Amino acid sequence: MASGRLALSWVGRDESLLNTADGGYEWVSRQDPRVTEIRLLREIGKTGEVTGTPSDNLLIQGDNYSALQALTRTPEYSREYRGKVKLVYIDPPFNTGQAFEHYDDSLEHSVWLTMMRDRLLLIRELLAPGGSVWVHLDDAEMAYCRVLMDEIFGRGNFVGTIVWQKIHARNNSAQHLSTVHDYLLVYARSKSDLVLNRIDRTELSDQEFWNPDDDPRGPWRRSDLTASHAYEDGRYEVIGPHGDAFAPRGNRWWSCSQETFEALREDNRLWWGKTGRTFPFRKRFQSELGGLVPTTFWTHDEVGDNRQAKGEVTRLFDRSRIFSTPKPEALLKRVIEIASDRGDVVVDVFAGSGTTPAVAHKMGRRWIAAELSTGTMETFTRPRLEKVVSGDDPGGVTKAVGWAGGGGFRSMHVAPSAFEIAKNRVFLAEWARGEDLVAVVAAQLGFTCDGMEVGPFCGRRGRARLAVIDGVVDEVVARGVLGHLDEGERVVLVGRGVTPEAESLVSELSRGSRVLKAPRDLVRRGRAVR
């Protein structure tokens, strides 16, 4: 940590977490092979129109840390997504101390911070230079998360805090204050590259426009022509239509040069009041202004509230299947339209009931969504998205965005760990055999397996070839593999067992090639060997 740098400190900060079979967490070293391991993503189903490639919309069931690791580290996926995601929206457990039906929201504070830290670090790698991450929280952890995100993304990349009115009725039984809002912390990958879209104008916002002088360009509103900051060319006097002299008073300056002022006068873009004797204002025409700059306070009548969100999910299914904490589609529509454009990639790794991918799909964005709970995935997330694809979801923003069905997605599952630890020794899991072993090795070492390799090779990384032997690499095996190399190529030869003779032979006959033993050399010092 840099000297003098502000950072959060908590118990377990220097450790990582593993999910346990009972749904809890286990503290382990950040170098534990089960933490540094790149898990496999296995396809378990297809819905609608898909290409069968990483560019498809992806619905991932499993731990979102492992899903993010796969997206940022596995070559096939990292080429498609690392540094290319325009928007990440996450609605993690708020850590309120409650236990909801569909997820546990009572993590110990240090567990919550570690869980968020590890995922935000990977999310940062996914974001494009002009991308942004929106983290949805309440008062329980918002302040701590902001300091954590300052550390990860840089304080200068903080964009703002959105306040969302999630409830529009007072809770008169509240002990102290009736809480009616949540927060969305917004950070850019690189604030200088971030361009946020404007939102549509509203009837309320257009009430300030008028046209008392019947200007043929249509309605306009008044805009101040002075500024509070000193402007080099901002001290001069102007003459009104009836000979009156005007100049800014006190610590005010004209906000434009006299040359620009006279150009506005010539183009009839000044308003001197109905009498022609008042201080001048600039005319801003409604037709030229376009959309509105988003504010940081979003009311329930603009983007919906908790009651509306529950109603959307209930209408999709039935009252026997009610998700505890859904978000309204209008809220996600606002986020997505501000922070992305059609065709951009939107990611949500706390998918829950599936609001984010559902709205992203309807709005023409590509998406990736991950959900840990199998029950939530099978009861809410996947069925909801299947309805979106088939056009059987008439609610939410469907009508507003003109959605009628189409597209598709691939369902993926995060594979279990390929490593087991017993008595401080690392072993390969029983399932890691044959083609699965090849995939595991390629993922850890960063090789691409595209099915086009010939001979003994199963992967490629530049001029390096990968060969995986589900057995012992001896001198005979090594000679056979080396005989298939083209000039200038080298090989990484991996086996469950390795003889010293094979290691010596490869080192002698093929400069830059090497022989590795699985799993020992895949997790040496707790890091993937690259």
Residue 462 within a domain: yes
Q: Does 4 map to a domain?
A: no
Nearest to 313 by CA among 102, 26, 14: 102
CATH number at residue 69: 3.40.50.150
pLDDT tens-digit series, residues 129-166: 999 999 999 998 899 999 999 999 999 999 999 999 99
Gap between the Cα atoms of 291 and 283, Å rounded? 17
Amino acid at residue number 143? A
Q: How many domains does the chain divide into?
A: 3
Instruction: State the pLDDT at residue 421.
Output: 87
pLDDT category of residue 366 using cuts at 50, 70 and 90: very high
pLDDT at 229 exceeding the cut of 50: yes
Mean of pLDDT values over 380-389? 97
**Residue 178 in tokens:** 């009736």
Mean of the per-residue pLDDT values of the chain: 90
- What integer is the mean pLDDT of 209-214? 92
Q: What is the predicted pLDDT for the residue at 97?
A: 52
Instruction: Give the C-alpha separation, 199 to 206, whole Å.
Output: 13
User: What pLDDT score was predicted for residue 101?
Assistant: 46
Compute φ and ψ for 351, nearest 5 degrees. Answer: -65, -35
Residues 320, 403 share a domain = yes
Task: Give the CA angle between residues 275, 277, 283 to the nearest 5°.
Answer: 80
19-33, 88-102, 165-179, 374-388, range with the lowest pLDDT: 88-102
Residue 185 · residue 142 · CB < 8 Å: yes
443 and 319 in a common domain? no
Q: What is the pLDDT of residues 282-321, one digit of tens each?
A: 999 988 887 888 999 999 999 998 888 888 888 888 766 6
Q: With respect to residue 144, please indicate whether it lies within any of the assigned structural domains.
A: yes
User: Given a cut of 70, is residue 524 above it in pLDDT?
Assistant: no
Q: How far is Cα 368 from Cα 377, in angstroms, rounded to an integer?
A: 14
Do both 375 and 489 map to the same domain?
A: no
Which of 109-113, 161-165, 206-210 has the largest mean confidence?
Answer: 161-165
Percent of the chain with pLDDT over 90: 73
Residues 129 and 220 in one domain: no
Separation between Cα atoms, residue 166 and residue 136, nearest integer Å: 12
HEC sequence for 226-276: EECCCCCCCCCCEECCCCCEECCCCCCEECCCHHHHHHHHHCCCEECCCCC
From 414, 442, 476, the end of a domain falls on: 414
The whole-number pLDDT of residue 319 equals 64
Confidence of residue 109 (pLDDT cuts 50, 70, 90): confident
- Cβ–Cβ under 8 Å, residues 192 and 208: no
More confident residue, 50 or 324: 50
- Domain boundary among the residues 391, 414, 437 is at 414
Q: Which of 238, 260, 288 is the last residue of a domain?
A: 288
Residue 243 has a CB neighbour count (10 Å cut-off) of: 7
The answer to whether residues 64 and 156 belong to one domain is yes
Q: What is the predicted pLDDT for the residue at 201?
A: 77
Q: Are residues 276 and 242 in the same domain?
A: yes
Domain annotation covers residue 299: yes
Q: Which residues lie across from 498 on neighbouring strands? A: 473
Using DSSP's 3-state secondary structure scheme, residue 25 falls into: strand
**Cα 87 to Cα 357: distance, rounded to the nearest angstrom:** 12
Quick check: is 7 in a domain? no
Q: Judge if 184 and 314 occupy the same domain.
A: yes
Helix (H) or strand (E) holding 270: strand 270-271
For residues 317 and 367, membership in a common domain is answered with yes
CA distance 53 to 518: 28
For residue 6, being part of any structural domain is answered with no
- Both 82 and 181 in one domain: the answer is yes
More confident residue, 270 or 453: 270
pLDDT at 424: 82
**Residue 500 maps to which CATH number?**
3.30.750
Residue 33 belongs to a domain: no
Same domain assignment for residues 299 and 277: no
Looking at the structure, tell me whether residues 327 and 246 fall in a common domain.
no
- Quick one: how far is CA 277 from the chain centroid? 54
Please report which residue ranges of 391-520 form alpha helices under DSSP H. 398-401, 434-445, 475-482, 500-509
- Domain for residue 34, yes or no? no
Residue 348 domain boundaries: 15-24+40-200+294-414
| Single pTM value for the model | 0.85
Q: SS3 for 29?
A: strand
pLDDT at site 69: 96
Same domain, 123 and 226: no
Under DSSP, the state recorded for 185 is: E
